[in-house]
């Protein structure tokens, strides 16, 4: 959307990442791609991916939800939801 494209506060990579998240979102509006997927796709490190995700989340464009393995702090699955 135009709001994301023209947001001067967002890093350019975050805008591209938003487009990928949108393309990968299921009918429920969630994407569950891993940091590794995005790192490979954009040839950047995990810190960069996390910075882009945080920028999108802080700006209100996405929400992240994490499901942990039972009884641990190990992440089982992460969901990224587009906020409308």
pLDDT at 20: 95
Per-residue confidence (pLDDT) for residue 79, from 0 to 100: 94
Instruction: Determine the structural domain holding residue 13 and report its residue range.
Output: 2-82
**CATH number of the domain that residue 58 is part of:** 1.10.10.10
Number of domains in the chain: 1
pLDDT at 73: 86
- Mean pLDDT by 10-residue block, N- to C-terminus, for the chain (84 residues)? 94 96 87 94 97 97 93 89 88
Tell me, what's the pLDDT at 13?
A: 97
Q: What does pTM read for this prediction?
A: 0.89
The secondary element (H helix, E strand) that includes residue 12 is helix 12-24
pLDDT at residue 53, as a whole number = 97
Residue 18: count other Cβ atoms within 10 Å of its Cβ.
24
């Amino acid at each position: 959307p135009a709001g994301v494209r023209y947001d001067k506060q967002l890093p350019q990579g975050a805008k591209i990442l938003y487009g990928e998240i949108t393309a990968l979102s299921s009918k429920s509006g969630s994407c569950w791609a891993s940091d590794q997927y995005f790192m490979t796709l954009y040839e950047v490190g995990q810190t960069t991916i996390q910075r882009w995700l945080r920028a999108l989340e802080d700006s209100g464009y996405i929400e992240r939800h994490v499901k942990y393995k039972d009884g641990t702090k190990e992440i089982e699955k992460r969901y990224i939801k587009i906020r409308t």
